[in-house]
């Protein structure tokens, strides 16, 4: 097969993104991941939306019953599939797809659903549609952004979102009431809100509203 310059550039971009995810982002987010992992009971059936390279599910994979990770970023999902094979975790499944179609891919009823730092990136209607599907689980763990109190931390968060190309989305998310408003619209009741080591991130432990 003959490769054009576009393929090479795209290939380099994928390699760079995977490198940044494995060597920088995953390290920076390690405390949040550990905190989320501590809230996932052994033997659970878990679904995660926006799982990227699957790091959280791979970390708890040895002690969960089964898990599905879904992300629309195909190269990240390919990396997750390779890692699961390397670690001999065949009960972890990773699917490259839009999380709006989550239920189409679920082959088990999850006890626990997770979305870590992914919902604020989605258009609000998508985030609500995704949350309504996560509400199939008994417990839903959401780690996501809050506006930090300190001006410096706020500036750093906005700069980070700008670099990631999500600043407009983040602003819209905050303007519409942030995560509490999304959770309400998604049919989830907050049981606990936990601080993390990152002042811009909280964890909400939720359960579906009983109607
Ligand atoms: C900031 S990353 C977070 C990755 C990981 N959960 C973590 O905590 O480090 C957000 C992820 O959400 C994914 N994402 C955003 N919108 C999505 C959608 N509609 N469907 C599936 N994945 C989505 C992105 O592809 C990205 O991998």
| 127 CB near ligand 1 (under 6 Å) | no
Task: Please give the backbone phi and psi of residue 188, each rounded to the nearest 5 degrees, phi first.
Answer: -115, 140
Which residue's CA lies nearest to atom 11 of ligand 1?
50
The CA 71 to ligand 1 mean position distance, Å, reads 6
pLDDT band at 6 (very low <50, low <70, confident <90, very high): low
Pocket flag, ligand 1, residue 73 (CB < 6 Å): yes
Task: Evaluate if residue 51 carries a pLDDT over 90.
Answer: yes
29-208 has which CATH code? 3.40.50.150
Pocket probe for ligand 1: among 24, 26, 50, 172, the residue whose CB has the most ligand atoms within 8 Å is: 50
**Six-digit token string for 138:** 């008994």
Q: How far is the CA of 22 from the centre of ligand 1 (A)?
A: 15
Residue 98 CB less than 6 A away from ligand 1: yes
Q: What mean pLDDT comes out for the span 101-126?
A: 94
Tell me the domain boundaries of the chain: 29-208
How far, in whole angstroms, is CA 85 from its chain's centroid? 21
Check if 44 has its Cβ closer than 6 Å to any atom of ligand 1: no
Cα 52 to ligand 1 centroid, rounded to whole Å: 6
Neighbours of 53 (CB within 10 A): 26
Q: In 44-160, at which residue ranges do the beta strands (DSSP E only) sit?
A: 45-49, 66-71, 92-96, 112-116, 139-145
Q: Is the dihedral of CA 109, 78, 26, 162 positive or negative?
A: negative
pLDDT band at 25 (very low <50, low <70, confident <90, very high): confident
188: CB partners within 8 A, 6+ apart: 131, 134, 135, 140, 206, 207, 208, 209
Q: Is 81 in the pocket of ligand 1 (CB under 6 A)?
A: no
- Minimum mean pLDDT among 67-71, 92-96, 173-177: which range? 173-177
User: Is 61 touching ligand 1 by the criterion CB < 6 Å?
Assistant: no
The predicted structure's pLDDT at residue 1:
44
Dist CA 5 CA 11 (whole Å): 10
Average of per-residue pLDDT values in the chain: 93
Any ligand 1 atom below 6 A from CB of 76: yes
Global pTM exceeds 0.85: yes
d(C-alpha 123, C-alpha 136), whole Å: 21
| Average of per-residue pLDDT across 30-43 | 97
Higher pLDDT pick, 166 / 144 = 144
- In the predicted model, what is the mean pLDDT of residues 67-95? 97
């Amino acid at each position: 097969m003959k490769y054009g310059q576009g393929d090479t550039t795209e290939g380099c971009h994928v390699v760079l993104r995977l490198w940044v995810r494995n060597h920088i982002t995953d390290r920076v987010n390690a405390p949040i991941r550990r905190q989320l992992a501590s809230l996932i009971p052994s033997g659970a059936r878990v679904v995660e939306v926006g799982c990227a390279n699957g790091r959280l599910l791979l970390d708890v994979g040895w002690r969960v019953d089964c898990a599905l990770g879904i992300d629309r970023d195909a190269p990240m999902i390919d990396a997750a599939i390779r890692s699961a094979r390397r670690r001999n975790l065949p009960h972890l499944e990773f699917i490259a797809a839009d999380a709006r179609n989550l239920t189409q891919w679920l082959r088990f009823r999850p006890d626990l659903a997770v979305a870590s730092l992914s919902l604020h990136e989605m258009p609000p209607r998508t985030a609500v549609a995704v949350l309504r599907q996560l509400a199939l689980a008994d417990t839903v763990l959401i780690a996501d952004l809050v506006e930090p109190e300190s001006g410096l931390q706020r500036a750093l968060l906005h700069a980070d979102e700008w670099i990631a190309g999500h600043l407009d989305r983040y602003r819209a998310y905050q303007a519409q009431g942030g995560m509490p408003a999304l959770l309400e619209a998604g049919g989830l009741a907050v049981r606990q809100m936990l601080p993390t080591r990152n002042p811009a991130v909280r964890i909400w432990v939720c359960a579906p509203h009983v109607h």
